[in-house]
Amino acid sequence: MQGMDHSNMQGMDYPGKKEPTPESRTTGLLPAGTAQPGSRYDQPGIGIDPSERRVLVYSDLKAYTPWPDRRPPGRELELQLTGNMERYIWSFDGKKFSEVNGPIHFEHGERLRLIFVNNTMMEHPIHLHGMWMELENGAGELIPRKHTLNAKPGERVSALVSADAPGSWAFHCHLLYHMDAGMFRVVKVA
DSSP label of 17: -
pLDDT tens by residue, 179-189 = 999 999 999 99
pLDDT at 93 over 60: yes
- Collapsed DSSP state (helix, strand, coil) of residue 60: helix
Give the CA distances from residue 96 to residues 30, 84, 102, in Å, rounded to whole numbers and listed in that order. 18, 11, 12
What's the CATH fold of domain 58-189?
Answer: Immunoglobulin-like (2.60.40)
d(CA 147, CA 151): 13
pLDDT tens by residue, 56-65 = 899 999 999 9
Q: Are strands 111-118 and 75-84 parallel, antiparallel or unpaired?
A: parallel
pTM, entire model: 0.80
DSSP label of 150: E
pLDDT at 16 over 80: no
- Collapsed DSSP state (helix, strand, coil) of residue 130: coil
pLDDT at 23 over 60: no
111-122 average pLDDT score:
94
Give the CA distances from residue 145 to residues 32, 90, 136, 148, 159, in Å, rounded to whole numbers and listed in that order. 32, 26, 9, 9, 9
pLDDT tens by residue, 129-157 = 999 999 999 999 999 999 999 999 989 99
